[in-house]
Amino acid sequence: MSSLPNPIYLAGCALIAVGIAGYWVIDAPKQPTAMASVCHALPVSNSTAALDGGMLQRTGNQKGLISFSNRTPKPIVATMGNAQSGKDYQVVVINPNTEGSISMPVGYYGLTVMRGEEWCNLDIGFKNGIKYQINGGISVAPNSGTEIRINHRDGVPNTAIDFHAFPLTLATAAGGISIPRSEGGYYMTPGQVNGVGVNFMVDTGATHVTVPAAVAERAGIACQTPAMFQTPGGAVKGCMGMAKAVTFGPFIAHNTEVAIIENNETTLLGMNLLASYRISQSGNTMHIQGAGGAGAVDASRQKVPEIAWDETPHAQAAGTPVRTRDPIIWALISALGLALSIIGALLDRFRKQQKLLKVTPAD
């Protein structure tokens, strides 16, 4: 009756089988997961791209304006889309400390704002960045707009996102603007003070152009003369300064004296500037016409250029199949099994020779 193979030999053969099965079956090459999607470089300049051009290019749609103001040291990427399904229609890139606007068809949109340093793609956003899903979304109304301000607060880790609605000012053929009355009964128009975006309230009862102290600081306007100002809330302290350029509608005024008031959030267009223009009113619309001494500038907020977005959102990237473990592990297991099987086979041969020597008769 033949004896069973040496256990060492059997163990070696088993390890060889494990190594082969592990390489070809257990750790067969697999496609990358969704999180292994290819990352893309962020456009170097402010830009926008349609992710669903069919929806945004429907004919007959009235449009409104969405203005993004990034007041942080990091770029932002914002997407607007279907508030219910989450499908994205438009993506906007705004670089640090800049602003840009896009036109959108009238409607209600979901809004997501992403902020960070190293961009990946629309699925992941910024690596180690922050993604904000704006509760309530945003509405776009005809002939009106919304400014989305992304603010940076020193010492506060979270980014503050503020929404500020403003009526659009429409450039007229005669070289002026027509400003509709807001729901609150005011005449509001977007503009700039030394390049800093503001939302002016046209106030023919104000003596001077008036800016909050925070705006004056960002615009680089220094206090020159201390002053007291009479406001509806009483007398307040402030000072007078000089703005190099005040822009509103198609107009720009140089070297304009401005009143700087602390603890104030309203920016006024006062009579020291408005006196240079012809002002009239018809119904709920105020008309401001140039009367000389003012140069024309772009009447609309700067719109960002359209580009082609270089990724397919919400899709798993195709790639070369990969193994989850290092193949050398299976090779080492097989090599160990081979060594054991050889040792086992040699031991079996040695034992058989020993048995033969015991049974061989002496001469």
Contact criterion met (CB below 8 Å) for 119 and 41: yes
Please tell me the pTM assigned to this model.
0.45
Q: Please name the residues in contact with 203: beta carbons below 8 A apart, sequence gap of 6 or more.
A: 268, 269, 270
Q: Classify the C-alpha dihedral 318-319-320-321 as positive or negative.
A: negative
From the list 136, 49, 60, the residue with the least C-alpha distance to 88 is 49
One-letter amino acid for residue 95 of the chain: N
Q: Which CATH superfamily is domain 169-299 in?
A: Acid Proteases (2.40.70.10)
| CA quadruple 255, 258, 263, 266: dihedral sign | negative
**SS3 state at 253:** strand
37-166+303-319: CATH, from 1.10.3470, 3.40.50, 2.60.40, 3.60.70: 2.60.40
Instruction: Please report, for the chain, the start and end positions of each structural domain, with discontinuous segments joined by +.
Output: 7-28+323-359, 37-166+303-319, 169-299
> Nearest Cα to 144, choosing from 168, 108, 116?
168
Give 227-234 contacts, CB < 8 A, sequence gap 24+.
227/259, 229/259, 229/261, 231/261, 231/264
Kindly give the pairing relationship between strand 118-121 and strand 107-115: unpaired
pLDDT by residue, tens only, the chain of 363 residues: 455 567 777 777 787 787 777 776 666 665 554 444 578 888 878 888 888 766 665 534 567 778 888 888 889 999 988 877 778 889 999 999 888 888 888 778 888 999 888 898 888 899 888 888 877 678 776 555 677 878 766 555 555 565 554 444 433 334 688 899 888 889 999 989 998 999 999 998 888 899 999 999 999 999 988 888 887 778 888 999 988 888 888 888 877 889 999 888 889 999 888 887 888 888 899 998 875 433 333 334 567 788 888 765 434 444 556 555 567 777 787 788 788 778 877 777 777 777 776 665 555
Handedness of CA 279, 173, 146, 221 (dihedral sign): negative
